Structure 1
């Protein structure tokens, strides 16, 4: 219990774990499970390094036409609603994985001049370097929002 007049530390911060935050170079991205029919995907970060690390929070996700191209349409918005998982540290041992839910709204495509994209760019939480997957999909141009991302969770 903290001393009177002081705040308790947030137990869900990676700083409170015994391991450092995962950096992009330690991770690979996997398409996981899900599919275009429902527009609901569970993508995975896999620790491809020899060191244990921690992921916490929301990845940044956008559709592009190449690993280093500019985003097409709006990036994914965070789902921080009452039914969504809350950000909590997920420890990844070497070879270990964590997942996040990525939701697309394909029915909205009929209401816009949709653009085709070839790549999904994903930034692990607290990283400025991205990973990518081949992603043949459609998206509405800005400002229509069609992508939602949820916090990292254990597998």
Structure 2
């Protein structure tokens, strides 16, 4: 009876296997807690990386759009340049044709001018001849009157 009473008042004695199991469980809980913290930090990093990827994708889309706009602008500029080149060639051809036409007109005018000059000189000589004849008649009339 004294033995039973001593056992009842004494601290309960746990079996050795249970203490080891509790220590292993505590260590496992601690490992799980550390792993959970590590996984939580990794998840946070993944979330941050996902946000960065989304931002980079948006930036890439903007850059692709800007590149497409620049490519279209370059294509339009090239078309304008080609059209300008063709227009310049036509303008130069027209200028050459106009130059040849003006040269022909100048030659024609020079020919007409020399013809007109000779006609004018001929009429001038005729008029001078008439004036001289008239002056001669006047002088003859005056000499007859005297």
User: What TM-score comes out, normalization by structure 1 length?
Assistant: 0.12
Structure with higher helix content: 2
Structure with higher strand content: 1
User: What TM-score comes out, normalization by structure 2 length?
Assistant: 0.13
